[in-house]
Structure formats: structure tokens, C-alpha cells
Structure 1
Amino acid sequence: MRFLLVVPPLAGHVAPLRGVADALASRGHSVAWCGPEPELSALVSGRVCAAGDSAPFALSLRPPGLRGFAALKYLWESYLVPLADAMVPGVSAAVTAFSPDVVVADQQAMAGALVAARCGLPWATSASTSTELADPLGSLPKIASWVSDLQAGLRARHGVLLGDLRFSPHLVLAFTTRALAGPCRLAVPVSYVGPVLPAASAEWSGSDGRPLVVVTLGTSNDAAGSRFLAESVDALAGMPSVQGLVVDPSGQLVSERVGLARRIPQVAVFARASVVVCHGGHNTVCEALAAGVPLVVAPIRDDQSMLAQQVTAASAGIRLRFDRAKAADIRAAIESAEQHRAGAVRIRESFEAAGGAEEAATRLESLA
């Protein structure tokens, strides 16, 4: 069988499907990727079909101070919808050239859904983050209607009669578990296969024997992120009983008491950690919880607030105000995180039972 994976050029969205692609290939299936070039080829291996150019509306162009509805408005009007329009011709060409049996479309690569529906192909949604499964706009009808209108315009421009482009009526692969995501409010088949995480390349050897506290904000590196990281360094400097490690992509922070790194092998480091302080990115949250490590979550934008809510609802961590947290607040949160270890372990066990990439591959085979 042949599977076409349609994705945006975003590392966090591509990451879970890399493991699924490997699982499908190991079973003898043909797999091709489709997305904007040259960004996609830098994220995946194997056959890549070019689909559009994301440079004119890259998320990196988003003003750093956007929060709340302003951030959502930018995401939809300046990224998701233009990206879909730009990708449709390339996805159509890929379908013609590759002749897939199934299209797998990331939630933020709606061109995959548009072309699959237009060609009458079965398609699955790759939900790399789980927040929309709980219908976060359900209590905000005006915003939900605005999103619906934007999708209606997309469908009309490309001659498609379909429902919500973010959720396949055939199969939604949710790379999480109900234990973390909570109840689903979608009227479509959802398979909770758990996160698909990269294997640790090697064991991390930087531990000095004290409990390890890791602070990372992923790729967030604006002024607000620098402020939070600096406050975290101050917090950890006043905690001599723990080993602090702060990930500072800018390389601008200086400390004699706290470890600093521009990047880390997260899976290997989290395996040795006692607490992880993060921004609530889906991959970071799942990598920490897969190691049974309690979290301190300081969400910045997009789906991160919902992820923080899931973590606290699962008693797997606590939440901080990203824009207001001072060193004393961060220190207090770290000190109290241990009480959430049992919740983090429960989520780890749910991840282990979900099946991951192999279960996702089985579901896609059934769809084909």
C-alpha cells in the first residue's frame, strides 16, 4: 500500500509522523512526504514531493507579542489558510505522481484534506497536538463561526464539499492518550495512539548526582522568553540542593551556579530529570511525561494554555504565569512539583499502553 503524508514545515508536527512512516516502511508499504520545500527535506528522509513555498507567511514572521485572539487570528489568516491555498497544487501533483491509497494530513496542512476529498481518497488526520479534540472554541461561538467561515472559503475556492478540514470523518490519529487529553467532543473516530517520541541517541552523562531540574522554552527566544529564562536561572541559583539546567538558545545568559546549554538531547536529559519547567509545547510535555517527570508549565501562546490545563487536570504538574513569574514563583513551583509525580507516572503508563507508531500504522492499514 502507498501512504502520502501531507505536513506543514513545522518540526513539532512532522516529528510524530516520522516514527509512523518508519513503521509503515518496515511493514513493506511505500511512503512519501508532501509539503513546502526546502524546509520539509530538512526534517524528513525518503521521498519528498514539493508543495508550495511557506516563506511568504512563515510562523517565524509572527509578531512576538501576540497573545490570545490576536495570536489565533494571525495563525489562521496569515498562516493556515494561505498555506493551504499554496500547497493544494503541489499536493494534487503528488497524488497524481504517487497514487496513494491513503492520504495522511496534519491538522495544519488542510491542503491534504482538500485534495483527498476532491480525489475521493480515504484520508486520516494527524493530530500532533490534542487541544482541538476538546473543542476549545465551543464556548466561544463567534470565534468558532469565524474559523468556520474561513474554512468555508477554502472549500469553495477548491471545489470541495466537506466538513471541518481539521478532522477526517474516516480516522483521526491523536498522538496522546485520554488520560492526558481528557474527554473528546468530536463526532469522528479518534484513535488515541499515544505520543511517538524519538529514541534517546545516547545516555546523558551530565548529572552530578543531585536532583536535576530542566528549564526549556523550546524555540521561543523573544524578549519575554529571555526574561523567563533569566528568572529561572535566579530561581535555581538559590536552590543548592538541586542541579539546574537552563536551555538558552541565544547563549546570552551567564551563571556560575546553574548549567546552561543552547540545546539538549531532550529525551536523554528528561530520563534523568526530577522536574521539567517548560512552555507547554506538545512534544516537550509528552517527552517529560513519558519519563514520568512532573511538570511546571508556563504557557506562552497557541495550544500551550490548553496543554497546561490538561497537565494540571491530570495532576501531572502545576501552572505558572509566563509573563508574570518571578524567580520566587518559579522556585516555589519547582519545590512543590514533587507532589505531582504520581500523576506524571500515571500518564507515562497510559503512553506505554497506547501503542505509539505501531498502533498508528495498524490503524492506517485498516483505513486503506
Structure 2
Amino acid sequence: MSAFLFVVPPLTGHINPAVGIAARLAARGHRVAWACADPALVRRLAGPDAVVFRCAGPVPGAEGAVRPPDLRGVEALKFLWEGYLLPLADAMAPGVRAAVAGFRPDVVVADQQAFAGALVAEHLGLPWATSATTSAEFTGAYDGLPKVADWLHRRLAGLRTRIGDPSGTTDPRSSPHLLLIFSTPELIGPQAPSAPHIHYVGPSLAGRPAGPGFPWERLDPGRAKVLVTLGTANADAGGRFLTVCLAALRARADRVQAVIADPARTLPVTPGDKDALILPSVPQLPLLERMDAVVCHAGHNTVCEALWHGVPLVVAPIRDDQPVVAGQVVDSGAGLRVRFGRVTAARLGEALDTVLHDPAHRAAAARIRAAFRTAGGARAAAAHLERMGAESR
């Protein structure tokens, strides 16, 4: 049996895909542990008995890690790296080294944004795999931005000098040993890279904590149902957009029922409202089984979870990898894109009408659904890691 150390940032969307893989490995008798700056979050998602080595590092919402909500484009990318990802790697490195010393893993499984996992493993001569929780890094996103690509390269080189092997050359976002991408070429498109160590496993879905009870009895079987969500990290930016969505959906209340996740509680809530169920959180995976369309920020997890259920999308990317993922949705035919900061209720309503009633979008979503389910998800990812662990011993 092998030992696997999962190194993850304290971000729900990056931990969730690893949870199902870790559970499968543990069920097959392997030892599993985690290294993270927020052990409580890992245990909430992976279970209270998860073995977690605490690392230092900023968590979302901490002083210095709060991103201005109106930051976009290159400035948002610069903030993400200089304000969060690089400081997180510097801070996590000692904790990752201590986790390796204490747990003695055969394989380090590093999230693509947990650079400390990759660089420490490389420095210590340990085999490491990349858990790619977004496919945006593998689609030539910076091909037309040479200055941005050079800036990122220099920042990573500096980080390697500080916490890794200065003579190393591997990009810590992409392991040369095993790269697990939680998507498939059917969504990514023809630019999806191919190599013997790259495996497209599709979404890795696992059971989630139930949270507060959802009013399932209020879902109307006689109307199409639309989920509106901006994920777990965009509550600061979503007030205006959610208001526009609510207006567009209320204008279609005779034929469409809305379910809106509003963690910041920006929308007015009317008790017993039959047209719009507005809640601070929703059980997204089981809810998607009953949805006819999704409106979202083009976060990779939300997009893949919707398409896993064959649900077409209206995407409104805000920042980071979201514009790239939104482009994948549109290019695949599985949805339409609107402008997050400028869309009107009329324009959003038109996009919704199209994805709900144009069979081409639903057919494209069904095609990706089939590809995702064939790819194997957590089961396939765990099998690849098992082979890597056996070869390393």
C-alpha cells in the first residue's frame, strides 16, 4: 500500500475535487493525509477524521487577502499571484516539509495553485502529481500575452529560489510525472494538450456536507428551473448581477422558477415566494439533477458539475480563469456568455430563453455529459495515483 499527501490551498473549489479521490484511495487501504492552511475546512469537506497537517498561509477573507471586488483583467491576475498565490506558497512551504517528514508519503498530490507542494516534493526528490482543478492553464491562455507570461515565469523562478531547488526547471503548475485534469477535450477544445502523463478524468464529484435543509417541496414540476450561483468566492462582487438575474427570471415566472444562491444576502426575500427561491446556500449537486439551466460565473467546478448533469449554461465570467472557462462553454456549444458587469435583465433573459429552448445547447451539454461520465472521475484519478504509488516504492 502507498501513502499520498494532498497539498491544497484553503479554497473549497480546489479541495472538493480531491475529496473523492482521497476517499477512494483510503477505501483501497492506502494512507492519505492533507497539508493545508485551513485544517477545519479540509475536515468539513473530507470528513472529521481526515489527517491534516497545518500549514501557515493566508486564507480567503484574511487581512491582505481581500481582493477589491471591481478588479478585473491583468490587474486581477497580478493581485491573485502577488496578493495570494505566491505568499501562500512561501507560507505553506515549511508546513509541507514538516508534513513530508511526519507522514513520509510515496506521492505528493499538489493542487495546481498550491505551488509549495510541487516545489517541496521536487526539492526532496519525491514523485508528485498535479491536481488540475481548472483547465484554463492548459489552453494557451497567455499565448497572446507574452509580457504576462514572462512576468509569471519570473515570479515562479523567484519562488523556486526561495522554497525549492534553484536548479530545477519544471513548472510547479504541471507535473511531468502525472497531470490529472478534471475536464475532457470535449469541453476544453482542440487545444487540449496530449502526452502520456496527462489524463483527462472529468469532474471528481463526491458527497458534500448537507448544510441547512433545502425546501424541495417548493420546486414546481410544471415550470423550467434555473439555478443562479456565483460560487463560494464571489459574494463580494455579485449584488448587481444577482439583482439583474432576479428581474429577468421574475419576468418569466409563468414558465420559469428561479433558485438563487445569495450568500451575501443582497436580495430581498419574500416568505413563501413560489417564483424565486433565494437562499444563502444550496445543495448544488443534488439540485442540478432537477435544473434545466444554470446561470453562473464560469467557475470551473460549477461549469463541470452542470455539464456532468447535461445542463446548459449562461456564463458571466468575473476574473481569474473564468473568461477562459466561459470561452470553452461557448465554443463547445453548451451555453452562452454575457457580460458580468454590464448585462441587463433583457439581455440575460434573451440568453436564458435561448439555452432553455434551443435544442443545440442541450445537445452539446449532453455530449459533454457523456464524455465526462466515460472519463471516470475520482475512480480513474485514484487508479492513476495507485499506479504512480506502486512505481515509486
Please say whether Structure 1 and Structure 2 have the same fold, judged by a TM-score greater than 0.5: yes
In structure 2, the residue matched to 1:84 is 89
Distance 1:145 1:187, change over 3 A: farther
Letter in structure 2 aligned against 1:117? E
Alignment partner, residue 29 of structure 2: 28
Residue 185 (structure 2) pairs with residue 166 (structure 1)? no
1:176 to 175, 183, 186: 183
| Whole-Å separation in 2 of the counterparts to 1:317 and 1:302 | 20
**Structure 2 contact 38–59 (Cα < 8 Å) conserved:** no
Count of matched residue pairs: 367
Residue in 1 that maps onto 2:246: 233
Residue of structure 1 in register with 2:128 after alignment: 123
Cα distance between partner residues in 1 of 2:42 and 2:28 = 24
Partner of 1:315: 333
Aligned-partner SS, 2:170: coil
Distance (Å, rounded) in 2 between the aligned partners of 1:16 and 1:168: 17
Larger mean CA deviation between 47-56 and 299-308 belongs to 47-56
Task: Please say if residues 4 and 104 of structure 1, whose CA atoms lie closer than 8 Å, have aligned partners that are also in contact.
Answer: yes
Residue type of the partner of 1:155? R
Match of 2:226 in 1: 213
% identical equivalent positions: 51
Match of 1:44 in 2: 46
Matches within 5 A, 1:245-256: 245-254=259-268, 256=273
* Equivalent runs, 1:278-293 vs 2, <5 Å: 278-293=296-311
Q: What is the Cα deviation at residue 187 of structure 1?
A: 6.5
Structure 2 unaligned blocks of 5 or more = none
1:89 partner letter: P
Q: Counterpart amino acid of 1:268?
A: P
User: Cα deviations across residues 57-84 of structure 1 (Å, max 9, x unaligned)?
Assistant: 8585111111000010011111111111
SS for the counterpart of 1:126 is: strand
Letter matched to residue 106 of structure 2: D
The separation in 2 between residues aligned to 1:10 and 1:51, in whole angstroms, is 14
Gaps of 5+ in 1: none
SS in 1 for 2:285: helix
Cα distance change of structure 1 residues 57 and 292 upon mapping to structure 2, 3 Å threshold: closer
| Change beyond 3 A, Cα 1:55–1:304 | closer
Give 3-state SS (helix, strand or coil) of 1:61's partner.
coil
- Matched residue, 2:377: 356
Looking at structure 2, the residues matched to 245 and 159 of structure 1 have their Cα atoms a distance apart, in angstroms, of 46
Moved more, 344-353 or 213-222: 213-222
Aligned residue identity for 1:66? L
Q: Determine the structure 2 residue equivalent to 1:343.
A: 364
**TM (normalized to structure 2)?**
0.89
- The reply to whether residue 198 of structure 1 matches residue 206 of structure 2 is yes
Q: What's the offset of the Cα at 1:188?
A: 7.5
TM-score (norm 1): 0.95
**CA displacement at 1:213 relative to structure 2:** 1.4
